[in-house]
Structure 1
Amino acid sequence: MKKLTSLRDLFFTTRFFLCWGVLALLFLSAYFVPFMMTMAKSITLFFAVLTLLDLILLFGTKKTIRIRRLVADMLSLAEENKVRLHIESTFAMPLTARVIDELPEQFQIRDFILMQRLEAGASIETDYLLKPTTRGEYSFGNLHVFASTALKFVQRRFTVFAEKKVKVYPAFLQLRKFQIKSAPDVNASAGGHRPFRRGFSTEFDHIKEYTRGDDARTINWKASARRSQLMINSFMDEKSQQIYCLIDKGRLMKMPFDHLSLLDYAINATLMFSYVSLQKDDKIGLITFAEKVEDVLQPSKAKKQFNKVMETLYLQETRFLESNFADLYTVVNKRAGQRSLLILFTNFETLKGFERQLPYLRRLNQKHLLCVVLFENTEVSALQANREDSIEDIYLHTIADKFLYEKKMILKELQKNDILAIYTSPSSLTVNVVNKYLELKARQFI
């Protein structure tokens, strides 16, 4: 870090200009009232001495002010992130410091100033909070300290080159403080017996004697030859289930809610859902799509999978075209070799738009367990609840009724086709998705 130290770092304060402005008025008055000239000259000399003294105190020394910024390499989206400034003064007198940190342009804050008092030879730490509303890479600039003495006629600027780039990820801070309402665990039955179903799972359990009604395709011929009687392989449901999060990045996901888009809420929910799924020993995968499928992350239960999900998600952006569900079905059918839980984050505002994509949703649900996440338009709900008597309010109420009715019809169509659905407000999305997953797992739907 380099420091700028030159007369270019000299700045005059408001007090300086006010005093000399008053002196200008005194000299102007002395033109009409001659006896005021002596007083004006005396005051001018006095202010000149004070200004010179202030300059000597700030610039006539090798003392300096050091400042550094302490910020994490990763910031959390839509969360309060702490930034710490460490300021150290080597001056032998107390100073008043005006601290300016060049914040990333995404915040659009042009008047960020922190006022601090620096005691002689002391160091202090001060914190401030930043709340990013978009994902991506943020660039911090330089740090500036404008120091002034008690006279406050001039200021000396200390500039530290402290440029730094940080990445804003989905709201990972929630992982440390978010409390999830766990669904009851049906496996915790009396005696600790773990229920199982016969089937063709990939997890072998044990070999047992054949009884009438057992599937002949599970006969273990080698074990049968050794025991001189028919023996079959018994399988249990595989503990590690395969899960895909399907994130729609089409134009409807750009709809804003509380400074975030629906895509941001879907990404935050996916991150939390992935964390919980990996804790439950399930394999989590990810597919993002818009006019075509873009990112495909194969399911895995490895610990590094969570970092892969986070790295894939933090730069995602919405598109302005209609989402291609046909391409999504093709990719899922090709990549997901076994029955999987598919969590589809999307949004439909009209029944016609939904009906165009319904055939692909049906096909996905035939081979897999599909759960469609739809967003409640809370602003439309608020309009619908508004019961005013003016013509404009009645018109808005009627339009709101139409949109809410179509949402209900969409949900009814999903239910008619045996497709699971989560209808939630954006703010409650994360907890509702995770609780639905825990419910399905507890009821052995997956």
Structure 2
Amino acid sequence: MAIGAGLIALAVASPVLGLVAVVYHAGLVIIATRDLALLPGRSGYVVKRMVPEPFSLGEPEGVTIEVENPAAAGLWARIADHAPGGLRPAPRELPGRFDERGVVKLGYRTYSPRRGAYTFGPVDLQVWRDEGWWRRQVRVPLPREVAVFPNVVAIKRIQLSLRRGLRAMAGMRRARPPGASTAFAGLRDYVRGDDMRRVSWTATARRDRPVMVEVEAERGQQVIIALDCGRLMTAPAGDLDKLDHAVNAALMLAWVAQAYGDRVGMMTFDDDVTGFIKPERGAAQLRRITEALYAIRPQYVEPDFGHAMTHLALRVGRRSMVVMLTDVQDPEASRELVAHALRLAARHLVLVVAMSDPAVLNARDAPIDTTSRAYEWAAAEEFVASRRESFELLRRGGVLGLDVVAGKLSPALVERYLELKERALL
């Protein structure tokens, strides 16, 4: 085009150059028209979007876009999916090339920091030839409603581990206190420190190496998950807020407890009891709990622990393990929680679970190299120490406690449940 513009400028000096400019531009039009004709038209593209069903809260997951058009075989492509910004899609543009069948399949990653419903929009596609002059852009409508549920991917991982007989914490073995009722759980190889009274001599003779008999605590207990949805649970803790960390942990605990034969129930509360699912077993119960966890939202109100635990005591008569997912602060701020947890512990096994904010722990553990850092360290240390004091008050009253970094809450809670199960404390 620059050369053509130069020929037009020189045509003023010579009519011959004017004729050359006309011929030159006619050639450009022919070449450009031919290049455009070699690109497929706007119709004929078949686009598919493969997404997780459902998306999992706080879990990196993949979305795949597949475009098919036999007329586009061998052409270059660039795809942009109109994914919801709340899913944090990356990268937003995907370069690729159609294969000999006219198919291109590209993927990108998502990360879902919030539960809820989201809508995908159309897919934009650019297609061009090697050293081509044109790019044809096509927009293919592809609306789709998706939902971000509590982390079901983590459930699938632990499900696979349990099927393989693995444990989340290596080296832990089943145990029981004297007099606890037990059931046969399987055989395993001898490990130094095992009780020789549990050697299976028949299996040892057959395998030609020491084999131990594993036992586990009796099944059929009750686990109640009490989930605080009040103001303090709205605080961020890493990529998720504390309530979403608690939602993921509650779902994983419900699944593991159900897999171990226990009945699982759930209560949600803020300044009032907002939901109660009575303890049951089975897949239908897990669906009810999952749907309830998907729907809950935090409220900017102070939780009423007295009302919640009184409601729980009236609805649950049988001794159960009550897992209270909440936030613990200094003894004065947590006075109501401590008092009512101690009262509930007279009949039930109560476990109070709280999450430490990674930012606070980093402020306490980072080097102190400036005056401002010294003040920051002092504030973080005072906050952590006050939490320890509250947990100590709970422990003295017979209430179990678990204080863990938010990002490690789910596996830590499952391990604590399995430990209590094996010690037959439920």
**Which category describes the TM-score, using the shorter chain as reference length?**
0.7 to 0.9
The answer for the alignment partner of 2:260 in structure 1 is 280
| 1:62–1:347 distance in 2 versus 1, CA, 3 Å | closer
Residue in 2 that maps onto 1:212: none
**Is 1:381 matched up with 2:361?**
yes
Matched, 1:372 2:358: no
Q: Which of 317-326 and 376-385 deviates more?
A: 376-385
Structure 2 residue 41 is the aligned partner of structure 1 residue 53: no
TM-superposed CA distance for 1:296, in Å, is: 1.0
Task: Provide the rounded CA distance (Å) in 2 between the counterparts of 1:31 and 1:325.
Answer: 91
State the distance in 1 between where 2:62 and 2:90 align.
Answer: 19
- Residue 128 of structure 2 corresponds to 148
Indicate the residue corresponding to 1:122 in structure 2: 102
Contact 2:90/2:108 (8 A) holds in 1: no
Q: Taking structure 1 as reference, are residues 322 and 151 closer, same or farther at Cα in structure 2, changes over 3 Å only?
A: same
Task: Tell me, yes or no, if the aligned pair for 2:7 and 2:20 is still in contact at 8 Å.
Answer: no
Offset at residue 439 of structure 1 (A):
1.4
Which AA in structure 2 matches 1:135?
A: R
* AA aligned opposite 1:363: R
Structure 1 SS opposite 2:152: coil
| Offset of residue 48 of structure 1 | 2.5
After TM superposition, give the deviation of residue 136 of structure 1 in Å.
Answer: 1.3
Q: What is the rounded CA distance, in whole Å, between the counterparts of 1:419 and 1:39 in structure 2? A: 95
1:195 partnered with 2:195? no
Structure 2 residue 175 is matched with structure 1 residue 186: yes
Post-superposition shift, 1:80? 2.5
User: Could you list the per-position Cα deviations for residues 322-359 of structure 1 after superposition, in whole angstroms to 9, with x for gaps in the alignment?
Assistant: 11212212320221121111000111233321113322
Structure 2 Cα separation of the partners of residues 33 and 408 of structure 1 = 93
Amino acid across the alignment from 2:243: L
Larger radius of gyration: 1
Quote the RMSD (CA, aligned, Å).
3.0
Distance across 1 between alignment mates of 2:286 and 2:230 = 24
- Report what 2:328 is aligned to: 348
Structure 1 CA distance, aligned partners of 2:253 and 2:181?
25
CA distance in 2, matches of 1:167, 1:92: 33
Which is worse superposed, 74-83 or 434-443? Answer: 74-83
Distance in structure 1 (CA, Å) of the matches to 2:96 and 2:49: 15
1:363 Cα deviation (Å)?
Answer: 1.9
**What is aligned with 1:107?**
87
Deviation at 1:300, TM superposition (A): 0.5
- Please give the secondary structure, in 1, of the residue aligned with 2:295: coil
Distance across 2 between alignment mates of 1:330 and 1:88? 61
**Structure 1 counterpart of 2:354, one-letter code:** L
Q: Which of 323, 330, 334 does residue 303 from structure 2 map onto?
A: 323
Distance 2:42 2:226 in 1: 61
Shift in CA distance, 341/393, structure 1 to aligned 2, threshold 3 Å: same
CA contact (8 A) 1:91 1:120 kept: no
CA apart distance, 1:278: 0.6
2:241 aligned residue: 261
* Structure 1, unpaired ranges of 5+: 1-19, 197-236
Conserved 8 A contact 1:99-1:146: yes
The aligned residue for residue 409 of structure 1 is 389
1:230-249 alignment, distance < 5 Å:
239-249=219-229
Distance 1:427 1:49, change over 3 A: same
List alignment gaps of at least 5 residues for structure 2. 162-167, 183-216
**Is the CA contact (8 Å cut-off) linking 1:63 and 1:90 kept in structure 2?**
no
The residue type equivalent to 1:241 in the other structure is Q
CA drift at 1:247 = 0.9
Amino acid at match of 1:167: A
* Contact 2:329–2:390 (CA under 8 A) maintained in structure 1: no
The TM-score, its normalising length taken from structure 2, stands at 0.80
- Secondary structure at the aligned position of 2:132 is classed as coil
In terms of mean alpha carbon deviation, does 148-157 or 161-170 score higher?
148-157
Aligned position for 2:193: none
Distance 1:415 1:106 in 2: 41
| Range that drifts further, 328-337 or 380-389 | 380-389
What is the alpha-carbon distance in structure 1 between the residues aligned to residue 393 and residue 92 of structure 2?
52
Partner AA of 2:119 in structure 1: S
- Whether 1:160 and 2:140 are equivalent positions in the alignment is yes
Question: Structure 2: which amino acid aligns with 1:153?
Answer: W
Aligned counterparts of 1:33 and 1:345: Cα–Cα separation in 2:
88
Please state whether the residue corresponding to 1:343 is helix, strand or coil.
strand
Secondary structure, aligned partner of 1:348: coil
Tell me how far 1:377 sits from its aligned partner. Answer: 2.6
Where 1:367 maps in the other structure, the secondary structure is coil
Q: Secondary structure at the match of 2:384?
A: helix
Give distance in 2, aligned partners of 1:417 and 1:123.
Answer: 66
1:313 to 279, 282, 293: 293
| Paired residue type of 1:195 | S
Deviation string 1:361-381 (CA, Å, 9 cap, x unpaired) is 222222211100122233222
Q: Secondary structure of 1:326's partner?
A: helix
Q: CA deviation at 1:294?
A: 1.0
Q: Measured at CA, do residues 93 and 396 of structure 1 come closer, stay the same or move farther in structure 2, by a change above 3 Å?
A: closer
SS of equivalent residue, structure 2 residue 292? helix
- Read off the aligned partner of 1:181 and give its amino acid letter: M
Contact 1:252–1:348 at 8 Å: present in 2 too?
A: no
Alpha-carbon shift at residue 83 of structure 1 (Å): 2.1
The percent identity for this pair of structures is: 23
Q: Secondary structure at the match of 2:118?
A: strand
Equivalenced residue count is: 382
SS in 1 for 2:352: strand
Q: Offset at 1:63?
A: 7.0
Question: What is the correspondence of 1:390-405 to structure 2 with a 5 Å cutoff?
Answer: 390-405=370-385
- Secondary structure of the residue aligned to 2:285 is helix
Amino acid at match of 2:35: D
**What is the CA-CA distance between 1:73 and the residue it aligns to?**
2.9
| TM-score, with length taken from structure 1 | 0.77
- Give the CA deviation at 1:110: 9.3
Between 1:391-400 and 1:110-119, the stretch displaced more is 110-119
Amino acid at match of 2:376: L
Residues 140-166 of structure 1, C-alpha deviation per residue, up to 9 Å, x if partnerless?
A: 112232222335333333333321112
88 and 411 in structure 1: CA distance in 2 versus 1, 3 angstrom threshold:
same
